[in-house]
Amino acid sequence: MTIEYSLELIRGLGSDLHTVADVMDGRNAAARYEQADVGRQVADALDHFADNRDDKRELLTKSRRNVGDMAQATAASFEEFDQEMAKAVKTILEEPA
């Protein structure tokens, strides 16, 4: 079994979700999302949300931050796993035959 992943993409996802949450929460008015970056459906949903703010805003913003945190934690866990595996392989290869 092979697991392939990109730490850069996973970390970027976490960062992007925090940026979107900041924009939606009004914390980062300078940050903007582009339809090409987030996709048409996400951009449409964000625009609809911005136009029709209601009591769901806080929940949606919190959820985006939580998913962003999970993506960043996932990247950190994969990186730690890579380091531990490399260390274990090195130890095995250095053992006398």
Q: At what angle do helices 40-51 and 7-25 cross, to 10 degrees?
A: 20
pLDDT, tens only, 21-63: 887 777 655 556 666 666 777 777 777 766 666 557 778 888 8
pLDDT, tens only, 55-69: 577 788 888 889 989
DSSP 48: H
Give me the residue spans of the domains in the chain: 7-94
DSSP 27: S
Report the predicted TM-score, pTM, of the whole model to 2 decimal places.
Answer: 0.56
Residues 6+ apart with CB under 8 A from 68: 13, 14, 15, 16, 17, 18, 21
The span from the CA of 61 to the CA of 67, in Å, is: 10
